[in-house]
Amino acid sequence: MSGELRLDIDKDTAKGHYSNLAVFSHTPSEFFLDFALVQPQGMAQVVARIITSPQHAKALVRSLADNIRKYEAQYGPIPDLPGGGLPGSEGPQA
């Protein structure tokens, strides 16, 4: 494939889903990325699940790290969350 990839997105998908918790798991052939919304009452609702190959998961990590570097270069460091983890977690989660 050559050139720039153009993405088509419908209006409902373009709205997106807010997530303040991510839980990742895997099998030998797939990675599961669950994005959830933790509410003040302590309940969490999964709002999106992405299932992808190990190769795409690794590429996603690289791309996200690159985008975080660019963001911090433009806007300054992103502070870590208190306790080092995500909301509702017992510690650091990927």
Write the pLDDT tens digit of every residue in 9-32: 999 999 999 999 999 999 999 999
Give the per-residue pLDDT at 1: 52
Write the single-letter amino acid at 45: Q
Query: Is the four-CA dihedral 28, 91, 64, 36 of positive or negative sign?
Result: positive
Residues 21/37, Cβ–Cβ less than 8 Å: yes
Q: How far apart are CA 50 and CA 87, in angstroms?
A: 20
94: tokens are 């990927």
Mean pLDDT score of the chain, rounded to an integer? Answer: 89
Give the per-residue pLDDT at 82: 81
Q: How far apart are CA 12 and CA 18, in angstroms?
A: 13
3-state DSSP assignment of residue 66: helix
The answer to whether residue 65 scores a pLDDT higher than 90 is yes
Q: Which residues contact 2 (CB under 8 A, 6 or more apart)?
A: none
Q: Name the band, by pLDDT with cuts 50, 70 and 90, for residue 90.
A: very low
Give the per-residue pLDDT at 84: 63
- Chain-centroid distance, C-alpha 66: 14
Q: Domain-by-domain residue ranges, the chain?
A: 17-75
